[in-house]
Structure 1
């Protein structure tokens, strides 16, 4: 056999196609998608809460509103309202100017602070970006207030030595910025990325399982009714979901050391994640057969950006943002963040997952009912005869 003949083999053609297709799909999806960081940082919503009625509070809020690199800055929220939105990740940062800020500065009291609050149970880019921006703000404000205080000191001449030392100390401590993180995630990428890892494990396993089980469904046509085979397919998927979820959560438990009170909830959510992703990815395979796996790959790649683990929905470009609304991965990641590290309920995201799974299951039922033609069911004797002949030929 010549090399050119080997290249015409179906397996070689498929390998060439998948290698080229996967490279184009992956780079064509990832490179544009990740260019949103830091291009779309200005799309993240933040809140400015000024409880200070004095001049300093007004000055700071006006300056920050003009200089901060964000298009949407909420200024009409109370600190309590803003904190509720932050817990739900509807806000990326809260800047809170306390009620006594101006009075403390005017009286020369040390450590008058502004609180900058972020939510640790959120996309990785949010916490890193907000920390960087807050550090820059604090450096600028510290210099500004120290300069203003120094100018006031220099206006007073012939100051006694002791008083001058006190004023010098006041200059150094005239302003401090207080960085606060709610729902702080334990140190380590294994903790920060766990919501995505659990979700990806369920999704990829479900996608491969959908290809194999739909293939088994097609191969078994004529041996049982479409309804029975479809039920068998779903029951097998559920069995895989239970076993794989128990093992996957067990690995997470032993490596990350989370409390046993989370085990049942995480396992139940992982089972839900598998079943939803199974039916979601099975749609294309029921429609076009094994070719559906090729179409499922770019959908998977888009969801790795659109799942909210790396960047929030507000930063995503439109195709990725649209995908996030119908993506089981997005709601799975958000539910895991809430369950593992958050202070809000994971139920809304779990219900959205269930809704997507229910819709996907209904679509699969309709595909099987109306697009898959009925096949006459063979008698059990004929099926046994085929199995016997196959066994004899093999022997």
Structure 2
């Protein structure tokens, strides 16, 4: 049999068709299965477990700021860990007991620490995404906490100085006590408003963005 006849024989043509069909089928299955991963990360369910009664506001802020459509907030820690292991949630943000109280102590020993639980048995794409979210949330909360603590320190110092000056004035002019106290209250309100406005401006002056150079096409 000549080479030409061999090439155009039914067996060889059938084999080539099967190879081409199989290759196209595998490529089609691969891309249809993986192209959704980068664009559907926000569909993965996550959980916020708040164990601190004084951190209800933080819990609401986290839920509002998270880039996920399904955020569970009604689970306890045991339930959340079980769902994490069963891949029913992909990230747990835990606000531990006394989180808010430890932040306010500022004694160099107590520490308010958010905990992020990630199941590393999941595909690397979801693990990497959850790590990025955890770092982003952690940095955001840290910035917010630092601003609030700094504002609290400044306010306390300002009011302490005002209180000391008011006592001195009353001691020197006891007959004008009411007028001095009224003026001190006005000064206190003005100082507090200025401090609040200053820190509002500081918070609004910060922005965070990610510039993705040579970004791979979606699905690659």
| TM, length-normalised to structure 2 | 0.63
Deviation at 1:138, TM superposition (A): 0.9
Q: Which residue of 2 aligns with 1:35?
A: 35
Secondary structure at 1:84 match in 2: helix
Equivalent position of 2:25 in the other structure: 25
Q: Which residue of the partner structure matches residue 186 of structure 1?
A: none
| 1:112 to partner: Cα distance | 0.8
Q: Which residue of 1 aligns with 2:100?
A: 102
* In structure 1, C-alpha distance between the alignment counterparts of 2:37 and 2:25, rounded to whole Å: 20
Partner of 1:73: 71
Which residue is 2:207 aligned to? none
The root-mean-square deviation of aligned C-alpha atoms, in Å, is: 2.3
SS of 1:136's partner is helix
Aligned residues between the structures: 156
1:112 alignment counterpart: 112
Q: Distance in 1 between matches of 2:127 and 2:53?
A: 30
What residue number does 1:291 align with? none
The DSSP-based 3-state class of the residue aligned with 2:38 is helix
Q: Secondary structure at the match of 1:36?
A: coil
**Which of the two has greater helix per residue?**
1
Local SS of the residue matching 1:39: coil
Q: What pairs up with 1:291-302 in 2 under 5 angstroms?
A: none
Moved over 6 A (4+): none
For residues 339-378 of structure 1, what are the structure 2 equivalents within 5 Å? Answer: none
CA separation in 1, counterparts of 2:148 and 2:22?
Answer: 59
Q: How does 1:1-395 map to 2 (within 5 A)?
A: 1=2, 3=4, 5-54=5-54, 57-109=55-107, 110-155=110-155, 156=157
- For 2:102 and 2:3, the matched residues in 1 are separated by 86
Return the TM-score normalized by structure 1: 0.37
Q: Please report how far the alpha carbon of residue 11 of structure 1 lies from its aligned counterpart in structure 2 after TM superposition.
A: 3.3
Q: Distance in 2 between matches of 1:38 and 1:64?
A: 22
Distance 1:32 1:148 in 2: 47
CA distance in 2, matches of 1:23, 1:150: 62
Deviation at 1:2, TM superposition (A): 6.0
SS in structure 2 opposite 1:122?
coil
